[in-house]
Amino acid sequence: MKYRLLSMLAVSVMVLANAVLADPIVIKFSHVVAENTPKGQMANKFKALVEERLAGKVKVEVFPNSQLFGDNKVLEAMLLGDVQMAAPSLSKFKRYTKKLQLFDLPFLFNDLAAVEKFQQSPEGQQLLHATEKKGIIGLGYLHNGMKQLSASKPLRVPEDARKLKFRIMSSDVLAAQFKALDAMPLKKPFSEVFTLLQTKAIDGQENTWSNIYSKKFFEVQPYITESNHGVLDYMVVTSAEFWNGLPDDVRAEVKKALDEAIALGNKVAYEKSVADRQAIIDSGRSEVITLKPEERAKWVAVMKPVWKQFEGQIGKELIDAAYAANQ
Ligand code: SIN
């Protein structure tokens, strides 16, 4: 009896010691932008919150600036277990779902407030599940901002973009949008954009004020047209295998930390869309072109027919629901 009690005690001590000494769960979070951006700040806040609340249990390693993977590779890497979390632009999910192409439709949303309204609606929340069949779970949306067009020449009307080469994210909708302008779209990773612009291998690109500023595109693009023609937002994702394998209490705490980090990232996104725009103007390196209403109407007229091309893949009801968020 005495021996049985002693051996039970020994086993309990070992289990306890194992629990205490167990290696922490590591979450590698890979992204492509600078740390002083909405996504960069969100990821750093997430790390701080998780490591404060789950000290010793979970460690978060953040890899910014495409240090670990570019956005075109990160989802593959996640499914292989090489990273556990990422937040690619919604334009980069084409291999996993066609539904998210919705967010690339030109002139669908008037501003970030409409984007937010749609993302929080039942239809928007449902889209977080769009990649689940492929083993990828959407944990939440994160804003960056509305996109602007930068180029080596002033773009005031759609004809100004004819025959110019534009870098785009890996999205067929964005390719169609530039083809509608009779321009040449080139799908290239974010990490290559500055060099492509600097060496004049391309003439222009589309991006948010925050990305144009933090990656210094404005230093090699003399003109930026304030077109607000599309949105660049993110989905924070993880692999189903990793997420479902977490202990319930850890998963709940990680999700709570993520929601708080996203709230901070969204606040940064609103602030940066004003501050980085102003910083670019103040730099004097790039002229910011404001479109007259009749000029803007011409861009809308040329680009909006792209919706029809993708209606079958995205779904008309979804497009209508997103458009209704402008009211
Ligand atoms: C990002 O904001 O994550 C990258 C956007 C891009 O590829 O242009």
Atom 7 of ligand 1, residue of closest alpha carbon? 190
Measured CA to CA in angstroms, residue 253 lies from 58, 135, 247, 258, 319 at distances of 10, 22, 10, 9, 34
The whole-chain average pLDDT of the chain stands at 94
The values of phi and psi at residue 187, to 5°, are -80, 115
Residue type, position 302, single letter:
V
CA distance 136 to 243: 9
C-alpha span between 23 and 154 (Å, rounded): 56
- In tens, the pLDDT along 146-182 reads 999 999 999 999 999 999 999 999 999 999 999 999 9
70 alpha carbon to ligand 1 midpoint, in Å?
A: 10
pLDDT for the residue 148: 98
User: Is the whole model's pTM more than 0.95, yes or no?
Assistant: no
pLDDT cut 70: percent of the chain above it: 94
Residue 71 has pLDDT above 90, yes or no: no
The H or E element that residue 151 is part of is strand 136-151
In contact, 105 and 231? CB cutoff 8 Å: no
Going by alpha carbons, the residue nearest to atom 8 of ligand 1 is: 190
pLDDT per position as a tens digit, 219-259 = 999 999 999 999 999 999 999 999 999 999 999 999 999 99
Q: What pLDDT does 250 receive?
A: 98
Q: Is the model's pLDDT at 2 over the cut of 90?
A: no
Percentage with pLDDT > 90 across the chain: 92
Which of 74, 89, 212, 235 most suits a substitution to test ligand 1, by most atoms within 8 Å of the C-beta?
89
User: Cβ distance 237 to 96 under 8 Å?
Assistant: no
Q: Is the pLDDT of residue 106 over 50?
A: yes
Pick from 160, 152, 163, 154: which is nearest to 200 by CA? Answer: 152
For 186-204, letters b (16+ CB in 10 Å) and e give: eebbbeebbebbeeeebbb
User: Could you tell me which residues come within 8 angstroms of residue 174 by beta carbon, excluding any fewer than 6 positions away?
Assistant: 91, 104, 168, 185, 206, 230
For ligand 1, the distance from its centroid to the CA atom of residue 15, given in whole angstroms, is 46
Closest ligand 1 atom number to CA of residue 88: 3
CA distance 207 to 214: 11
Looking at domain 20-324, its CATH superfamily turns out to be Bacterial extracellular solute-binding protein, family 7 (3.40.190.170)
Bridge partners of residue 237, in order along the sequence: 86, 138
Which residue minimizes the CA distance to atom 4 of ligand 1?
190
Please report, for the chain, the start and end positions of each structural domain, with discontinuous segments joined by +: 20-324
Could you read off the pLDDT of 23-35 as tens digits, one per residue? 999 999 999 999 9
14 pLDDT band (50/70/90 cuts)?
very low
| Ligand 1 centroid – CA 212 distance (Å) | 10
